[in-house]
Amino acid sequence: MTVYLVGAGPGDPGLLTARALELIAAADVIVYDRLIPATALDGARADAQLIYVGKEGGGPSVSQEEIQQVLLERGAAGDEVVRLKGGDPFVFGRGGEEAELLHEAGVPFEVVPGITAGVAASAYAGIPVTHRDAASAVAFVTGHEDPAKLGEGGTGSALDWPALARFPGTLVFYMGVRQLPAITQQLIAGGRAPDEPAAVIQRGTLPDQRVVSGTLATIATVAADAEVRAPAISLFGPVAALRQDLAWFESRPLAGVTIAVTRARAQASALARRLRSLGAATVEAPAIRIVPIDGPAPEITRYDLVCLTSPNGVRLLFDRLHRAGHDARVFSGARVAAIGPGTAAALREHGLIADVVPTRFVAEGLVDALADLPVQRALIARAAQARDVLPAALRQRGAEVDVLALYETVAEPISEPQRRAIAAAGYVTFTSSSTVKFFFDTVGDGLPERTRLVSIGPVTSDALRDQGREPDVEATRHDIDGLVQALTDDVASRA
Ligand code: SAH
């Protein structure tokens, strides 16, 4: 029965602390703000109560009093309550007030610091807020002041503008992008050098981070011309100039590129993570869902060859074997073939090293790779809908072939916002022909011509042509690494 005041960091989900994730996973109640990472609540318990208290279009949807009421009631009721805030809870987050209130009410609380925007957005913009040669101090300042209060010499302000102007170090203003003209004017009036380097960072650490640079004298105009909007921090000090050399975020291979990923949900996340780590913004558009087909475990010992054609197939085959009390030992008399490295990796997780993995990861490749292997009875464990290439080829060689359908792939409906996000993406990736079919069934002709289509290999490319679309990029290596490589090369060649 504790209320945790938890910082969620500036927006990049990777900047959530381990402690924050642990508390989110355990919480009964999570009271959260708008500026938390989009995926911050993914790890919450399915039965946790999630209460949104952010601001929508400027005005608070829930008053500070109501928020405090929830914290007190749920905390006193013995629930584990996480109060999740953007950045750090004690830096312009009203966390101090909430802690005071909990203290007065005798409700136990803990504070989990988060990475504050002033430090994080600056770092992602390539600006160290302190520097041995350029800044020995840094001040975090609220720019959220009524311009009317910034009267002559800033006399009506809660801030001591002449003192801020003299501050011997970096000034980082939170909020207040709209107040930039008044802020810079006050600082110059207080004697700060008009040619001091300045930067404004919008949506720092997020894939669509934008940075504009100028001087104390010019930055207000530069930011207005670029239509910089909240959330943004404004930074003044010599360190702002270091960005010229240190801007690393924008120089990653997929920076500024939005990619829609169409795989079954579980695998889509892994691919999307890879693309994001290269700087891309991703839209997860899972076109297919895997629906397992129930049935008895096959008698593996009857076969001298077992072929697996997908990681899902491996997982579901072992589910059936485990339910029947069997393990990898039933494969001792059989050769095991995997269609590609992903399937081989899934087999390894179950203690089996594939005897055969073709160099081309399609059914034809597997047929070639099996050419010299004597086969009498083969089991092909795979999806219900699949091409007949492999069973037909083995039968032609005189083998007896059983095909075991382990799962069906069905279309996953997509939401309207998802549909719009997909249409706005620069690239869509396709990793199987069934994904292509289901994706176009759902999206229809809602995909603009300019969207670049990336295919994992020839079979998927043909499926795209069946839909009347020519793939713009085809991977030379038909696996996820190959797909990522081909996409990255395409982005580089068009830069
Ligand atoms: N507690 C938060 C600050 C809350 S005040 C923290 O420690 O970061 C909200 C202000 O934070 C915004 O107006 C903006 O100035 C800043 N901010 C929050 N997220 C930001 C981001 N991703 N990029 C730039 N500024 C951000």
Measure 16 CA to ligand 1 centroid, in angstroms: 15
Pocket test for ligand 1, best of 35, 115, 172 (most atoms within 8 A of CB): 35
- Higher local confidence (pLDDT), 202 or 94: 202
Look at the block and give the residue holding tokens 């589910």: 319
134-157 pLDDT, tens per residue? 999 999 999 875 545 554 454 556
| pLDDT at site 348 | 96
Q: What is the mean pLDDT of the chain?
A: 91
284-339 pLDDT, tens per residue? 876 778 899 999 999 999 999 999 998 999 999 999 999 999 999 999 999 999 99
Q: What is the DSSP letter of 281?
A: E
User: pLDDT band at residue 76, thresholds of 50, 70 and 90?
Assistant: confident
Ligand 1 atom at minimum distance from 11 CA:
22
Structure tokens at 419: 């549909």
- Percent composition of the chain: helix, strand, coil (DSSP 3-state, to 5): 40, 20, 40
For atom 13 of ligand 1, the residue with the nearest CA is 175
| pLDDT at site 265 | 65
Measure 102 CA to ligand 1 centroid, in angstroms: 24
| pLDDT at site 154 | 47
The residues lining ligand 1, judged by C-beta closer than 6 Å to any ligand atom, are: 10-11, 35, 85-88, 91-93, 116-117, 121, 174-175, 201, 203-206, 230-233
Amino acid at 217: A
Contact 316, 407 (CB under 8 A): yes
Rounded CA separation 259/256 (Å)? 10
Cβ partners under 8 Å of residue 216, min gap 6: 184, 187, 188, 192, 193, 194, 195, 196, 198, 236
Amino acid at 271: L
Pocket test for ligand 1, best of 98, 111, 233, 234 (most atoms within 8 A of CB): 233
Amino acid at 110: E
Any idea which residues carry the catalytic annotation?
Answer: 33, 55, 175
Measure 33 CA to ligand 1 centroid, in angstroms: 12
Regarding beta strands 170-174 and 232-236, do their DSSP bridges make them parallel or antiparallel, or are they unpaired?
A: antiparallel
Measure 89 CA to ligand 1 centroid, in angstroms: 11
Rounded CA separation 191/162 (Å)? 8
Ligand 1 atom at minimum distance from 35 CA:
19
Measure 215 CA to ligand 1 centroid, in angstroms: 22
Look at the block and give the residue holding tokens 């990049």: 12
Structure tokens at 397: 């060689």
| pLDDT at site 401 | 96
Ligand 1 atom at minimum distance from 114 CA:
7
Q: Exposed (0-12), middle (13-18) or buried (19+): which is 47, by Cβ within 10 Å?
A: exposed
Ligand 1 atom at minimum distance from 88 CA:
7
Q: For 259-283, what is the mean pLDDT?
A: 85
- Higher local confidence (pLDDT), 475 or 66: 475
* DSSP secondary structure letters along 115-148: --HHHHHHHHTT--SSBTTTBS-EEEEE----GG
Helix (H), strand (E) at residue 268: helix 265-277
